[in-house]
Chain A
Amino acid sequence: EPEVTQTPSHQVTQMGQEVILRCVPISNHLYFYWYRQILGQKVEFLVSFYNNEISEKSEIFDDQFSVERPDGSNFTLKIRSTKLEDSAMYFCASKFQGLGDADTQYFGPGTRLTVL
């Protein structure tokens, strides 16, 4: 069964460093998402991406964050200058189609980011 994959599973970085989290969505999916879950808290929406552009973003997704689909398979989240409060689990998700049929978003296993 197709699945969303994420690499790395755990990333440790120093405050102020740039990190790139990678995701490979399911191949025929059209919508892509990043979510964040700070330890012990709820899953929060960061950004949705469709047709090679951001379709919606949350207040969390400030100028320090960016997303990119550099080729036909990868979907990346970049944090330019990490802060301690960026430590969280980051989930990538993808969905097949949109208008009139919000199919289930399939979530990847997550990347645990630890900022020291």
Chain B
Amino acid sequence: AQKVTQAQTEISVVEKEDVTLDCVYETRDTTYYLFWYKQPPSGELVFLIRRNSFDEQNEISGRYSWNFQKSTSSFNFTITASQVVDSAVYFCALSEDTGGFKTIFGAGTRLFVKA
């Protein structure tokens, strides 16, 4: 069965600090997709990144970077030089390449960035 675990419920950092949000997943499929979404206080889900199971290459996008390691079933997200605008809830999610391709979300990590 699919499962996504985000062990960090809340993280608080001071502006300009780097922060890493952890995500561990479980799946029986060999083909699957991993996502990160940001949910600001306004409530919408903002898509950040998608990774498929065959592509373990890490990715960097500006201050954001993602580390995908199949050996440990982890897909961690790092924000470099955090800013107050990064304050939000971040969800890691998993979608398997079967059935209706539903997305299973982790419980989310609430990030507070203080000025």
Q: Are B101 and A31 in contact (CB under 8 A)?
A: yes
Residues of B near A110 (CB, < 8 A) are 43-45
Which of A18-26, A74-82, A97-105 forms part of the interface with chain B? A97-105
How distant is the Cα of A44 from the Cα of B103 in the complex, in angstroms?
8
Q: Which of A91, A95, A106 contacts B101 (CB 8 A)?
A: A95
Q: Are A102 and B91 in contact (CB under 8 A)?
A: no
Interface residues on A, range: 20 to 34
Q: Are B105 and A43 in contact (CB under 8 A)?
A: yes
User: Secondary structure at chain A's binding surface: helix, strand, loop or mixed?
Assistant: strand
Q: Are B100 and A56 in contact (CB under 8 A)?
A: yes
Residues of B near A42 (CB, < 8 A) are 91, 105-108
Q: Are B45 and A100 in contact (CB under 8 A)?
A: no
Residues on A lying within 8 angstroms of B by beta carbon are 31, 33, 35, 41-45, 48-50, 55-56, 58, 89, 91, 93, 95, 98-100, 102, 104-107, 109-110, 112
Residues on B lying within 8 angstroms of A by beta carbon are 31-33, 35, 37, 43-45, 47, 50, 52, 91, 93, 95-97, 99-108
